[in-house]
Structure formats: C-alpha cells, structure tokens
Structure 1
Amino acid sequence: MKFKPLHDRLLLKPMTAETKTKGGLIIPDTAQEKPMQGEVVAVGKGKRLEDGRLQAIDVKVGDKVIYGKWSGTEVKIGGVDHVILKEEDLFGVVG
C-alpha cells in the first residue's frame, strides 16, 4: 500500500523497543517504553505559510529522527506499525 503524507506531516517507522536490560534481564511487553526514535518513510510537500509560500520539510526519507514519546498517531499500513506526525513534533535527526 502506498501512503503520501499531506502538508508538513511525516510517516515514520518506529524503532523496536529494547527487550533486554544491559544486565540481560528480559523486559515484559507491558513494561517496555514506547520508542522515541524512528526512520522517515515518507514526507509531505511542506507547510504553506501565510503569504502563500511553501516551506519545505528539513528531513528526508531514510533519516533517523527522535520525536516526543506521545507525539503523532499510530497506524498500521500494510500490516506494519507506523507513526504519522507533524515535522514540528520532531526533536532532531540522529547522525
């Protein structure tokens, strides 16, 4: 299934949550933290400014990003979990 975000929205594939601690203990599903890192899968064209100009999005497909823990909307596309959020919900790109 193809998905194209509109305006200044992004489609991210969240990184998998850690299932073990550094000491080797297995973390149950109910106690795992929500992932806050993801890979950009698709981007919209950008945000339309008040004067009509289009402000392009700073991230591109393939970038690894950090976003807020409760940011965005979780969706399943093609049976895979994704997050749709606005560019302003991103904290930065992981290099």
Structure 2
Amino acid sequence: MAKRLIPAFSRVLVEKIIPPSKTNSGILLPEKTSKLISGKVVAVGPGARDVNGKFIPVSVKEGDTVLLPEYGGAEVKLGDKKYHLYEDESILGTLHDH
C-alpha cells in the first residue's frame, strides 16, 4: 500500500526535476556552475495563520512546476521515491511555458 503525505500548515511536498546528464545520443553534458533547480509540486498543506490570526493559503498548487532554492528543504522518502518538503515562503516562484 502506497503512503501519501499531506504536508502540515504551509509546507509543500516537491519532487525535484533532475536535468539529464547526457543527451539522447549519449553525449555527456557538463555540469553547469549555476544550477536552476526546479520541481513538481506533489502535495500542499492547507495553509497557516499569521500573528493576527488571518488565514494565509499556500501560494502554489499540486502539479505546479516551481523554482527551488539551491539549499534547504527536508528530504522525505516514501516507498522508493525521494521528495523534498519546503516551507511555502522558501519557494522562489513558479515556472510556466509561454
């Protein structure tokens, strides 16, 4: 039976998108010095309340592709897959195709 994690408060569960290290024809790609780390949102928490008690919903939704900080996030393993849990505020933005 597969487990499903529902994040608490304003946390976001993300599956990192790992860019390919070689092309389809087998050419190895050099690792870039500045990495653009992205991921797909798998699950989101319900949101949290601020110091005044006002409810603040999570800013991303399941299925969004997001830009992630180079460091941070808690690694979570569910079955044989690895995910990362981030605070909503630490996600840098969402990525969209034109």
2:46 is aligned with 1:48: no
Q: Percent identity?
A: 32
Is 1:46–1:56's contact at 8 Å kept on the other side of the alignment? Answer: yes
Aligned positions of 1:9-20 closer than 5 A: 9-20=11-22
Counterpart CA distance in 2 for 1:44 and 1:61 is: 10
Deviations 1:12-32 (A, max 9, x none): 0110233127xx64259xx68
Tell me the TM-score normalised to structure 2 length: 0.80
SS at match of 2:92: strand
Aligned residues: 91
1:43 Cα offset (Å): 0.3
Counterpart CA distance in 1 for 2:47 and 2:73 is: 17
Match of 2:71 in 1: 70
Aligned-pair RMSD on alpha carbons?
2.3
Is 1:17–1:32's contact at 8 Å kept on the other side of the alignment? Answer: no
Tell me the TM-score normalised to structure 1 length: 0.82
Counterpart CA distance in 2 for 1:35 and 1:80 is: 21
* Unmatched 5+ stretches in structure 2: none
